[in-house]
Amino acid sequence: MILQSLITLYDRLYKEQHEDSENEGAKIPPLGFSMEKLGFCINIDRNGNLIGNPEDIRGEKSAQSYKYRLSEVPYSNHVNVRSNNSSTTPNFMVDRADYIFGMSGASRKNVHQNSFRELIDEVCGNSQDEGVLAVKSFLRKWDPSKSTSLPYWQEICGKDGKWVAFKLEGDRGLVHERPEVQKLWENFVGRKEYRRGISLIDGLTHPIQNKYAQFSFGAGASLVSFNKAAYESYGKSRGENAPISVEAEFKSSTALKYLFRSETQCLRIGDATTVFWTEKKTPVEPFLGKIINHPRSEDGIESVQKFLEAAKKGFLPNAKDGEVKFYILGLALNQGRLALRFWYVCSVEELMRRLGNHFKHLEIDKSSERDIEYPGVWDLLKETARETKDISPVLGGALMRAILTGAPYPMSLYHGVMGRIGADGRINYLRASILKAVLERNFNKEIRMPLDTKNLETAYLLGRLFAVLEKAQQDALGNINTTIRDSFFSAAASTPGSVFPRLLQLSQHHIKKAEYGLISDKRIGEIMENIKGFPPLMDLKDQGLFAIAYYQQRNENYRKKETATEGENNEQAD
């Protein structure tokens, strides 16, 4: 199902690309080619002599990476040019530094240059193309020992160096982009012979691909692989255990590569990478990434808010898109292969409804204008650990599953937030949102906004009471560094019977000292009327309700203070 859906995506994108010649977004290559990032190019004359120094074509560098130039390169993985020796697999006319210069970053000579030259000879034969002749001449003349003295050498060999290409003097494009060179490669791909067999994709007989493409996860990982004999059966090896046709492997792996490099259809959360697409082009397709990872630009925030407001009300940007299928694939690296985290297929309408429900569960009154109305997954995950490196690597995938399927939220999300509250005593907007969402979805709790004075659950009343007691202390002592929240919050939430009698006794001193102590005394009395007693213990569910009530009552306290201040200012103005 996954591979078939990726093949359908390739066909859709390839068709869209050729129907719209001005569309620069898709960049879907034909069989035997791949869109790859170029880091450097070597300028050579027609005699194969190096002109100047290698040219850095990586583009601008952002905080995380360079803005690489993408190029349609001949890609050997699709034709298994060296199937008997996977450690030496050259590409045609463009490759890594060790294949082109014959020297690796570790200064090992003649690493792969011979195989690179042999492939060019095999593909080009007696071709008289100027670009081909110049590259052949360069490879004959080049002394690998000179490589280490080249400018940028360590960068060329490093992880940011990517692929190195040739450029012929006087040409605007690169050698591998010359029409004659591309035709030579297409002819070579067409001549390649494969074992024929029944493909698992459609049940028909096709040329079978021996090895599925690898992707840039760590040292490279494959979606379909058999890397140990123990995983093989009936005397079959490698791709024979899950036979996929050459065309099907190419289309599915190319579509997956396209998704991995997309800025709008690929998310990395924890150890999982999530890609998503629709069976046909819709305005909804690029929005999921913006929704899951809260945008930072004003334009992005505004567009997402409009989209989600429609989702919460059950409206679609285009009603006819409702039945279109939406595909969501979550992958993670696991011992050299891609592990499936999740795979969901639903209609656009179902997805909109689930997203709307998710944000309804998260919805709670803000404590400031800076609070994010539609927090992204990463915003939520950061509230579970002191540092991002300590966030559980599997929690992101579990949270995504809950959002996309409507399943209960992972309890580790709830426990993580409660742990942070216990450690630092902070109950902010996002933490309160998470607790509310879990209690509503997982335990069918009804939590109203902004403050539910009619909620008579003991845990809720105690949370409100704690906020009022803290306010009484602040009114009496002013802006102090440490309040009862810092000293008693965790104990009050978990063992109220041992803490609240002491806090109530302490509050009498604060009430007497504060200018408006009678107001606090009245609020305490109103809440205490409905409390039948202080339980010795409260479970985690009730502790979460306690924290939410504290958050809401604290917001209410400050709202009343601001209203009172505004009234005093108006009276003075009169």
pLDDT given at position 313: 66
Which uninterrupted H or E stretch holds 12? Answer: helix 2-19
Residue 284: what are its φ and ψ, rounded to 5°?
-75, -30
Treating both helix axes as pointing N-terminal to C-terminal, what angle do 113-124 and 130-141 enclose, rounded to 10 degrees? 150
What's the confidence (pLDDT) of residue 74? Answer: 94
- SS (HEC) of 153-174: HHHHHCCCCCEEEEEECCCCCC
Residue at 384 is within a domain: yes
- Answer whether residue 336 is part of any domain: no
Q: Take residue 536 and report the two structure tokens written for it.
A: 């010795």
Instruction: Examine the domain organization and report whether 281 and 354 are in the same domain.
Output: yes
User: Are residues 250 and 281 located together in one domain of the fold?
Assistant: no
Asked whether residue 153 falls in the same domain as residue 113, the answer is yes
465, 530 in Cβ contact below 8 A?
no
Look at strands 33-44 and 163-168 and give their pairing.
parallel
Give the model's pLDDT for residue 192: 84
Domain end residue (candidates: 169, 192, 215): 192
In terms of domains, do 433 and 361 share one?
yes
Residue 449 lies in a domain: no
The pLDDT value given to residue 25 = 53
Number of Cβ atoms within 10 Å of the Cβ of 568 = 10
pTM of the entire structure? 0.82
Same domain, 187 and 54: yes
Q: Into how many domains does the chain fold?
A: 4
184, 37: one domain:
yes
Q: Is residue 89 part of a domain?
A: yes
Residues 416 and 462 in one domain: no
Last residue within a domain, chosen from 210, 240, 261: 261
2 and 15 within one domain: yes
Whether residues 4 and 97 share a domain: the answer is no
Low-confidence ranges of the chain (pLDDT < 70): 21-26, 63, 77-88, 105-111, 212, 214-241, 294-301, 311-320, 335-337, 560-574
Q: Which of 140, 157, 192 is the last residue of a domain?
A: 192
Question: Do 371 and 420 lie in a common domain?
Answer: yes
Q: Residues 169, 171, 173, 175: is their CA dihedral positive or negative?
A: negative
**544 occurs within a structural domain:** yes
Q: Which residue is associated with the tokens 């690169």? A: 174
DSSP conformational letter for 389: G
Tell me the residue range of the domain where 380 lies: 268-330+342-443
387 located within any domain: yes
Together in a domain, 414 and 435: yes
Return the axis-axis angle of helices 348-362 and 298-312, rounded to nearest 10°: 100
Q: Does 410 lie in the same domain as 320?
A: yes
Looking at residue 460, its pLDDT comes to 98
Quote the CA–CA distance of 257 and 275 in Å, as a whole number. Answer: 10
Q: Domain for residue 356, yes or no?
A: yes
The answer to the question of residue 450 being in a domain is no
